Amino acid sequence: MSARARTGARLFTVALLAGALVGPLISTVLEDQVNAPADVVTEAPDAAAAMFAAERQGSRVAVASERTPSKEVFANPGGTMTAEYTAVPTKVRRGNTWVPINTAMAKRADGSVGPVAAIGDLSVSGGGTEAPLLRIVKDRRSFALHWSGQLPTPVMSGDKATYPDVMPGVDLVVVAQRSGYQQHLVVKTADAARNPALAKITSLSSPPDCDWRPTKPVSCGRSTRTVRWCSSPRPR
């Protein structure tokens, strides 16, 4: 066999070996591409789209149009639907998205403070005399509550805004809640508790679109009865 023939035979053998090695590799890659799952859909805009996606991928899909602060609806494979409810609101709409409720107080651009994300728009005074103690807007209706005199700059901690010493030895505390607020007067000493001005403070709430001030002679409405308790441990 000539040298040229031997060289051709060796090249042919190498080509066969390369083909034997590359062929299964290409086949495997193509098979993986064909069998690769599509992107899993976790949410669809309506029930029809959610049911179609759930049936196609074999896992449940949230129905965005059915979502509320305390409800989530899912389409399941097989054509059934599941609704899950929470005892309290867990999320709130912000524009076109939903975010988890977060009652931590934060300072705002206008100088007021309020919860990061809660049901309704609660705005609490950043101090001074101009703004009300608090204003809450819910369902396009509002309620404002004022405090007589100047408010100090609040100290924020978690869901609380504390106005120290609004009276001698008395702090005013506003607590942000998931869908509202609470206000407390913290009487820090026995001498402060004897202040006759404490007895003149009226706890009022109001119907929507009411702006209640201590100087107004008109009552907008009444809250539940004021509760007092002592937080100091009893002597043994």
pLDDT tens digits in sequence order for the chain, 236 residues long: 555 555 444 544 444 444 444 445 444 433 444 344 558 999 999 999 999 999 999 999 999 999 999 999 999 999 999 999 999 999 999 888 999 999 999 999 999 999 999 998 999 999 998 888 999 888 778 888 888 888 999 999 999 999 999 999 999 999 999 999 999 999 999 999 999 888 777 644 444 455 545 544 444 444 445 555 555 655 55
As a whole number of angstroms, the distance between CA 68 and CA 71 comes to 5
Q: pTM score, two decimals?
A: 0.68
> Among 74, 33, 32, 83, which residue's Cα sits nearest to residue 55?
74
The answer to whether the CB of 118 falls within 8 A of the CB of 101 is: yes
Residues of the chain by 3-state class (helix, strand, coil), percent to 5 = 25, 35, 40
pLDDT at 230: 57
Expressed in angstroms, the distance from the first to the final Cα of the chain is 114
